[in-house]
Every structure is written in structure tokens, then in C-alpha cells.
Chain A
Amino acid sequence: LSSPKSSPLTEAKGSSISQLWPITLIIVTTTLIVIRLLYVLDRTGEPPRSSKDSALQQPLSTLIVLGSGGHTAAMINLLSVLQKDRFSPRFYIAAITDSLSLQKARLLEVTRPDSMEVTSSSQFMQVYRSREVGQSYITSVWTTSVALAHALWLMLRIRPQVILCNGPGTCIPLCVIAFLFKVMGIRWTPVFYVESIARVRRLSLSGLLLYKLFIADQVLVQWPQLQMKYLELTMLVASCNWFTSAAAMAKLNFA
């Protein structure tokens, strides 16, 4: 930007331009952020690398968020069939109010065939919950901030390449930070959210949030009705009815 030289109004114009600078800066920055955001929203749900990638067989550091109770049991069930050499090292996170889940994860790690590797390839941590059941909304503003800050700290330490999570809301702060990392270009971490088997016709609040806000790359549901309901909007929701056999999975279309 150059100001006209011969005009007597140069000084006045110069000052008006210098006043415009901050606004221009804000507009440019906002535009860049919006473009980046649109790019992230568009890319979310797409496989992160092509299947002909040479770095393909490299293991991925994996963050596993354990929900509690039945959610943890479902996650452990899934982990027991995932290839441990591909998803390594593994970082387990449970809510600070939930001591049982990490015990179960430790048990799973110990009973894996290569239990020698346990200490080197898996870690166990706890995270604050943004909201406990029945907590008031005013205090949950504070607790949510704490949970987000804590999630940021954990995510900076772990820097996972994959996040596997399910309900209830324990995973939300961590997934939000993962989304911000995507926007800021720090790290592209695909997020898989497995919806509870108890959800037949409607997504849970966590599932709905992660799905609607494009935070999860894949929301895996266990009933075809649920997939049908959300299929028209995007292909993010893939049916993983654990009742059906693997043959039925051939119909899946997510690539």
C-alpha cells in the first residue's frame, strides 16, 4: 500500500491508512482461519494417507479414551482384536473419577501375548471430566475450562496419531484439542468414535457433537437404523453392527 505523494492530504491519509491496518490484519487473519477451517472440515472423514504410501506399515501412536463401565468394556473388546504392532505405543486415558477403567486396560496389556513390551509401549493417564452428572451449568463453565487445559497438556505430551474413543463425554475435551491441532496444522490426528450399542435410533450427545461439528473422522455406529438416519448428511457414519458378520461390511462405503 503506497499513499499518493503530491497531495496535501498525505498526512491525513497516511494516518487513516495506519488506522486501517489493524482492521485489514483482522480481516486477512479471519479469512485465512476460515479458509483453513473449511479445508479441515472438508478433509475430516477422509483417510489420512493413500493406501500406496510407502510409510504405510509404520506403527501409529494411539490414544485410547476409556469411558467407564460398559463403554470401557466395549473399547477393551475392540482393542483385543486390533493389531498391537500397528497401534503402538498406546496411551490410555480415563476420567479422574474412574479408577476401574485403567485397571482393565492394564489387565488387557498384560494378557497380550507380548507382555514384555507393556512398559515400553503403553502408558496410563487420567483426565478431568468437563462435567459430572447433575452438575450445574455455571460451575461447568469453570470445570470445562480446566478439562480443556488438562486435555491440551496431555495432547501436547502424547501427540497421538490416532484417537479411539467412545461415550460418555470423557473424550470430548481431548477430541476438541485434536480438532484445534488440525486447524492449527500441528498434527492431523484421525478421531474414531464408537457409538454405544445401546444407541439404536439416536446418537448420544457426545456422538452427535463429534459428528455434527466434524470433530470425529469416523463415527462408528452399531445399528443399521442409526446409519440410515445420518447417511444422507455425510458418509462419516459407518454402520458397524457387531451383530452382523464381516461379510455384511462389504457394503460399507467410506473412502
Chain B
Amino acid sequence: MGDTEATVKSKKTVFVTVGTTSFDALIRAVDTHEVKAELLRRGYTQLLIQMGRGSYIPTKSEGGDETLAVDYFTFSSSIADHLRAASLVISHAGSGSIFETLRLGKPLIVVVNEDLMDNHQSELAEELADRKHLYYARPLTLHRVIADMNLDSLIPYHPGDATPVAKLINRFLGFADD
């Protein structure tokens, strides 16, 4: 663990993304000591935050002995690359972010923004959590979810297939099934 080379090899990044919106409550939550300590305990070494239009600025850190390296940016055109490089993704509940992460097969914790009125997006996160495709958290429960999660129990998500829909449309319009 103390060996520099081993540390480089075992670089494990947590990528936090809020999409095009602002979600200060989430950024604030990942910036807390509890969450960082829990991530460190689970073997993660880097924390990269995409903070969107939020106004809360997390504290940067170089990392090193017993601390997490923390970096942030507002927007990027290469979110997909960051997702691909991550070992764990913590995301807002936007369906775009959720499905992009799941398709890449990355472990995902979705944090629901409780400040949004009529937030239908939590429906999707809850349902996918029930199906064990991801973990579901609120900003205040995030550290507990990280502590309790068992990534091996997550079920890989298989992207939807539109063929049944096409079949239904065809049948409705009187086209024969092929």
C-alpha cells in the first residue's frame, strides 16, 4: 500500500457527475469528511467532480497518505471518457447519465435531488435500485450507502431492445410478423 508504484497501479477513481444542472447538495455531500473517509476505506484513491452550474466549490487536494486526491471541473465534452476511467460513479438522477453509466457497466450510486419539485426522475432511480442495477441515495445518506454497498451484488444492466415495440406497431397496422 505504501509503495508508490503500487499506489499508481491501484489508482481507483470515483467520478461524480451532476449533468447540465446544479446540485450543490450532492457536491457538498461528497466533500464531507465522512464520505471521503468512507471512499478511502473502500480503496478509492481519486475523487473527480463534475459540478455543473453549482456554486459550491469543493476543496481540491493532491492526495497522498491516507487522503483522497480531489479535483473538479464544471463541464466537459468528454464525460464518457471520465465515466469509462472511473471505478465508481456517483451521479444525479438524470436518465441520460444513469443509462450511459449502466451501459458502460460501471458501479453506480444515484443521488436524488430532493430540492426539485415533482421529481419524476427519482422514480427511475428507485426502480433501477429495486432491480439491483444501482444504488440509490440522498445527499445525507450517501456516506452510509457507500459504507454498506456490496458492488458484487449489483446486476449488470442490459440495454433495452426495441424489437417488441416494433413488433407491436407492425401488428397494430396489420403487417404480418416475420
Smallest beta-carbon distance A67→chain B, Å: 13
Smallest beta-carbon distance B77→chain A, Å: 14
Let me know if B174 and A242 touch, CB within 8 A.
no
**Digit string of A63-93 for contact with B (CB within 8 Å is 1, else 0)?**
0000001100000011011110010000000
- Residue from A80, A197, A252 in contact with B168 in the complex, judged by beta carbons closer than 8 Å: A252
Q: Which of B84-108 contact A (CB under 8 A)?
A: 95-96, 99
Residues of B within 8 A of A238 (CB): 168
Residues of A within 8 A of B (CB): 47-51, 53, 56-57, 60, 69-70, 77-78, 80-83, 86, 162, 164, 190, 192, 194, 196-202, 204, 217-218, 220, 222-223, 225, 238, 240, 242-246, 248-249, 252, 254-255
Whole-angstrom CA separation of A171 from B130 in the bound complex: 32
Smallest beta-carbon distance B11→chain A, Å: 32
Let me know if B170 and A246 touch, CB within 8 A.
no
The chain A residue sitting closest to B130, CB to CB, is A200
Residues of A within 8 A of B174 (CB): 47-51, 53, 56
Whole-angstrom CA separation of A238 from B167 in the bound complex: 12
- Residue from B95, B158, B162, B164 in contact with A77 in the complex, judged by beta carbons closer than 8 Å: B162
- Residue from B95, B126, B160 in contact with A70 in the complex, judged by beta carbons closer than 8 Å: B95
The chain A residue sitting closest to B157, CB to CB, is A243
Residues of A within 8 A of B163 (CB): 81, 246
What secondary structure prevails in chain B residues at the interface with A?
Answer: helix
B123 at the interface (CB under 8 A from A): yes
Smallest beta-carbon distance B172→chain A, Å: 5
Residues of A within 8 A of B116 (CB): none
Let me know if A86 and B95 touch, CB within 8 A.
no
Question: Do A57 and B120 contact each other (CB < 8 Å), given the known contacts A198-B95, A242-B164?
Answer: no
Residues of B within 8 A of A56 (CB): 174-176
Residues of A within 8 A of B57 (CB): none
The chain B residue sitting closest to A217, CB to CB, is B172
Let me know if A82 and B169 touch, CB within 8 A.
yes
B32 at the interface (CB under 8 A from A): no
Let me know if B164 and A199 touch, CB within 8 A.
no
Residues of A within 8 A of B8 (CB): none
Interface-central residue, A53, A194, A198, by most chain B CB under 10 Å: A198
Question: Do A249 and B168 contact each other (CB < 8 Å), given the known contacts A57-B175, A196-B95, A200-B127?
Answer: yes
* Pairs of residues from A and B, 6 with the lowest C-beta to C-beta distance, nearest first: A242-B160, A200-B123, A198-B95, A78-B162, A249-B164, A200-B127
Tell me how many residue pairs across A and B have CB atoms closer than 8 Å: 108
Residues of B within 8 A of A48 (CB): 173-174
Interface-central residue, B99, B168, B171, by most chain A CB under 10 Å: B168
The chain B residue sitting closest to A55, CB to CB, is B174
Residues of A within 8 A of B168 (CB): 218, 220, 238, 240, 249, 252, 254
- Residue from B164, B170, B175, B178 in contact with A240 in the complex, judged by beta carbons closer than 8 Å: B164
Question: Do A240 and B173 contact each other (CB < 8 Å), given the known contacts A70-B95, A198-B95, A199-B123?
Answer: no
Residues of B within 8 A of A70 (CB): 95-96
Let me know if A78 and B166 touch, CB within 8 A.
yes
Starting from the known contacts A70-B95, A242-B161, A244-B164, 10 additional A-B residue pairs (CB-CB under 8 Å) come to: A78-B162, A78-B165, A78-B166, A82-B169, A192-B172, A198-B121, A204-B120, A218-B172, A220-B168, A245-B161
Residues of B within 8 A of A254 (CB): 168, 172
* 17 cross-chain CB contacts under 8 A: A56-B175, A70-B95, A78-B166, A192-B169, A196-B95, A197-B95, A218-B169, A218-B172, A222-B160, A225-B127, A240-B164, A242-B165, A243-B158, A245-B164, A248-B164, A249-B167, A252-B168
Let me know if A242 and B162 touch, CB within 8 A.
yes
Let me know if A199 and B120 touch, CB within 8 A.
yes
Smallest beta-carbon distance B75→chain A, Å: 16
